[in-house]
Amino acid sequence: MSLVLDFFEYDFLIRAMIGVVMLSIVCGILSPIVVAKKYAFMAPAISHSTILGVALTLLCLPFSHTISLFLGTLGFTCIFVYFLARASHKGPLPSDSLIGIFLSTTMALGLIIHYKYIGGTSDLFSLLFGNILLLDNFDLLVLFFLFLMCLILVVRSLDRWIYFSFDPQGAKLSGVRTKLYHYGLFFLLTCLIVGAVKISGTILVSSLLILPGTFAYKFSKNMSSVFKYSVIFAVLSGILGLFFANSFGWPPAPALALTQFLLFLPFGLIPNKN
């Protein structure tokens, strides 16, 4: 019982909980779109390029504040991701090769800069795997903006996003600006991944983006329930994950990812009716 009460007693746990819930809602909304577009591996590709984003930011601003570090990383990563989005729109390469090239190149360059010019890689570990207990008010504010942006850009025109996901050509005929939505999706993913740095780290955020959608598609009989199930699954597993992390002393980000998998497992084993 005291483990539950912890969440009301310690500020850092309350902040962590609020952060996780907001991040889970955003991931729950975007996840079905990511899964339907078969972009499951775009998230890790973007994640890895944040290493280069952080490296370049640290290189430009050696004594950086959290805010400038965040904005710098977001800015640089957006630039790289723009090229990824452009290449995947109508590029000549198959998207899996594209992801492989993008991921390894940006990560390699990022690591070289970290080792050679910044020195020390201790920060790198917390960048990759997050440190939710250090979440401060600024991080919560960032997540809140992300949350608002997602509501405004996605939920308000959900019909268009759905149409864009299952039939881009038909959507284009019906006046959906599919190119804008394509770039918009990459932009949202980038914001989400950079915003999630402290909660899940850049690497494990991909599990938050894939499992809720996969879960929702397994059980939904129509589109309106897909997003509902996805958000519920994401929020529930987020809360449970944080609880496990606190109870068993697990590192929080892997705890979140693992909880999602464990929650999905019993349902995942049920054969599909369709």
Separation of alpha carbons 81 and 100, rounded Å: 14
Residues numbered 139-178 forming contacts with other proteins, rule: CB under 8 A? 159-160, 162-163, 165-167, 169-170, 172-176
Tokens of 184: 């918009």
C-beta closer to other proteins: residue 202 or 214: 214
Shortest Å distance, C-beta 84 to other proteins: 21
Q: Which stretch binds other proteins (CB under 8 A): 46-54, 90-98, 128-136, 221-229?
A: 221-229
Residues numbered 10-39 forming contacts with other proteins, rule: CB under 8 A? 32, 35-36, 38
Q: Under a CB-based contact definition with an 8 Å cutoff, are residues 40 and 212 in contact?
A: no
Q: Which of 124, 101, 120 is nearest to 203 (CA)?
A: 124
Shortest Å distance, C-beta 107 to other proteins: 29
Separation in Å, CA 273 to CA 56, 223, 232, 233: 49, 17, 22, 20
Residue with the two structure tokens 């405004």:
152
One character per residue 102-141, x = contact with other proteins (rule: CB under 8 A): ----------------------------------------
Count residues contacting other proteins (CB under 8 A)? 26
Separation of alpha carbons 119 and 249, rounded Å: 30
Within 8 A by CB and 6+ apart from 180, the residues are none
Q: Which stretches of the chain bind other proteins, using CB under 8 A? A: 32, 35-36, 38, 159-160, 162-163, 165-167, 169-170, 172-176, 217, 220-224, 226, 274
